Amino acid sequence: MTAMPPFRSKPKNPSSHAPPKKMQSCGRRTTPPPPPCPSPSPTAGAASAARPSRWNDSDVNFLVAINSFKGTASSRDAGNAVARGLAARLPDAAVRVLAVADGGDGTVDAFHLALGGRFIPVTVHGPLGETRDAPILILDDGAAVIEMAAASGLALVPPELRNPLHTSTFGVGEMLRAALCFGVRKIFAGLGGSATVDGGTGAAAALGIRFIDASGRSVQPSGGSLSRIVSIDASGLDPRLKEARIIALSDVDNPLLGENGAARVFGPQKGADAVAVEMLEAGLKNLAAAASPGRDLRNEPGAGAAGGLAFGFMTFLGAQLLPGASAILDAIRFDEALSWADVIITGEGRLDAQTLRGKAPETVKNRAKSAGKCVAAFTGAVDRAAGAADGYDAAFALLDAFGEAASINDTLNSLEKLAFDNAPEIAAKGTGNVRHTQ
């Protein structure tokens, strides 16, 4: 296999973004003024080595762009496993791996693998108020990439403590504030994997907004406190946000309220029982009424993402909300790699009806077919009845090939073997001049 390193452009001014030290905790989850920015530290992160800007041709060029297999394999690891299988079966093939995402797990990894940059750890508050480290990726062009799940993710809360009435996105706001301290003025924020339904009030509070109850006191943001908000004071909002552009990346199109909204659809997944779901719905409705005297964003597609964090980002921070998969593919210059490839392999843990609603594999497939390319799907399981396999030249499922136990417990080895077993068939669909090595 010809090694195919990822593409990224040369840094414009590598010395202008010296890696600062880890951002410290802000104490209680109230509404603190922005602290002084940290000083640089040589241990916080290192810039990636420069990468070449073109790829060599070979018998067949494979582009592997697989989304994460949630809970079992990251996008990068899944892609590399498929690449190993392809290389073992077709050693004269060229394989390039792009990590892809749609705003959920793996968003930062997708940017990093394609564009390089360096990670800077910051200390923030977790979903239950505990302190923890969360990484910020600083790209060579000075933009930053964060995942809200690193600060307020469901995976950070033990199953027995999961209850969105008590969780907050305060740590997400701390990540944004740290990025501003580092001089960043363009921030990509992946919104998937949240433990919260606080309408983004926690993040907004960390950036200086006060949510006030009927007694004139500040409300400590959480899902359970939303119904107490009667007014909002934005006078303390971090002024650096006026110069910043925040791009929120979502993998869902749900509105804030209603049967398809943040509380009723996603609340139970985060530990809310039926009573809690109705409390969260009422709280979000109250927040929307207090926050939107002018432009009302409650019905904006995607406003319900991350428990309404998307609504809060747009309402309080002026963020732009974009469909995650398409925006990430654009940012990592997927179309450039697509033009090089003969065959594209995509997929995720399960292809089903949800995949068809703008998830990464569907977006990759549509771009590949528009470019006249052969595209195959590798997945854990596929719901063919829902049409999830439609449009692919071939679709292969670990469950069908190896059974449930291997699919879940040995995902990476199973993906490698799936690629090895099916490489000639896929290559033949992509080009008529392939050496089939046995």
For 2-56, how does the pLDDT look when each residue is reduced to its tens digit (9 = 90+)? 444 443 333 344 333 344 445 443 433 444 455 555 433 334 444 433 333 333 4
Query: What is the average pLDDT score of the chain?
Result: 88
Q: What is the pLDDT of residue 36?
A: 52
Residue 43: is it exposed, middle or buried by C-beta count within 10 angstroms (0-12/13-18/19+)? Answer: exposed
Q: Which domains does the chain have, with CATH numbers?
A: 14-30+104-325 (3.90.1510.10), 61-100+337-430 (3.40.50.10350)
CA dihedral 37, 43, 45, 49 (to 10 degrees): 140
Q: What is the pLDDT of residue 11?
A: 39
Percent of the chain with pLDDT over 70: 84
Among 259, 280, 348, smallest CA distance to 65 is for: 348
Among 120, 125, 80, smallest CA distance to 99 is for: 80
Quote the CA–CA distance of 149 and 154 in Å, as a whole number: 7
Q: What is the pLDDT of residue 17?
A: 39
Q: What is the pLDDT of residue 12?
A: 40
Q: What is the pLDDT of residue 432?
A: 52
Residue 185: is it exposed, middle or buried by C-beta count within 10 angstroms (0-12/13-18/19+)? Answer: middle
